[in-house]
Amino acid sequence: MEFILFIFLLSVVQCALGTSCRDNTGTCIASTSSCNGTLYSYACSGTDICCVPFAKNNNCGTTDVGQGKCVSSSSSCSGTTWPTTFCGSNKCCIEMSGTLGVDISELGSVNFFQCLKASGFEYVIIRASRSLGIVDHNAVPSILNALSAGFSDIDVYIFPDSRQNATKQMYNMVDYLNQDGVRYGRIWLDIEGRDTKYWSADKQTNRAFITELVNAGKSLGKDLAFYASKASWDFIVGSDFTPYGNMDLWYARYDWTQNFDDWSPYGGWTKPFMKQWSDSRSLPGLCGGPTPDLNWRPHNY
């Protein structure tokens, strides 16, 4: 979702010769040594380099996504085809227990979405209204580009500003999306944050705002759902605010697992619909476009 820019110092942990590197997938070797795999120059100390070998016994995958098998680049894959160097010129096929999708808050090109589609992602969620309470004008071109790339499961999300009129924000966004060729599914209401930058310190005020936002969307005939974590929901409206338990819930937990094992009920919801399991900082540069958040949901959802 949206991120607030912080200036920070990046500390790099370097590895000594012979130790593991690249999330335990490789080994630090001397720069003069040979490597039957891919070399990375930034993960080891001094002039040493990190050697990540090509797949052994045809195994591949990452700690973020899971383990799979290297298959020919022309072979079909019933799971997710993950971009990796472990398979050389082949591809890594990872069997999934559900379906993967992404959400983005920047402009996505046709090539970007084509890459995601080829990698096994099945749905996209695109920001259509920003936390400043204004329309995100990257949404329509991103939707059209995703459609051109072959995506049919496309949703949008609104990050509302509770200091502004809820109905106006919803109407402005939907009016913007009502353009020729634009097709999208549901609208996700992004209810997040645990400070008073976006939300009132008064929970009753926040409850009234969210209720107005829901009513505005329903008055336009839109299919609505919520993005909210337990911590944010409790801070913004309180744990006893439970009127939307019959609407689908998308939640975030960056544990890099594709299941709901970490989830427990809150806000009137007895089960989630979808999980955001990796944020955009985990896999920078995926498919050469805006770095997406990664999402998972069961096959039958």
The full DSSP string for 211-233 is HHHHHHHHHTT--EEEE--HHHH
Give the CA distances from residue 20 to residues 72, 83, 153, in Å, rounded to whole numbers and listed in that order.
28, 22, 40
Q: Which of 136, 155, 192, 248 is catalytic?
A: 192
Residues 90 and 60 sit within 8 Å (Cβ to Cβ): no
Does the annotation mark 2 as catalytic? no
CA–CA distance, 124 with 138 (Å, rounded to integer)? 14
Exposed/middle/buried for residue 57 (C-beta within 10 Å: 0-12, 13-18, 19+)? exposed
Residues 104 and 71 sit within 8 Å (Cβ to Cβ): no
Query: CA neighbours within 13 Å on the CB side: how many for 88?
Result: 12
Does the annotation mark 180 as catalytic? no
Q: Which of 48, 103, 136, 155 is catalytic?
A: 103
Helix, coil or strand: residue 21: strand
Query: Amino acid identity of 287?
Result: C
Q: In degrees, to the nearest 5, what angle opens at C-alpha 142 toward C-alphas 141 and 148? A: 90
CA–CA distance, 155 with 139 (Å, rounded to integer)? 10
Residues 2 and 105 sit within 8 Å (Cβ to Cβ): yes
Does the annotation mark 190 as catalytic? yes
Strand 98-104 vs strand 293-298: parallel, antiparallel, or unpaired? antiparallel
Catalytic site positions: 103, 190, 192
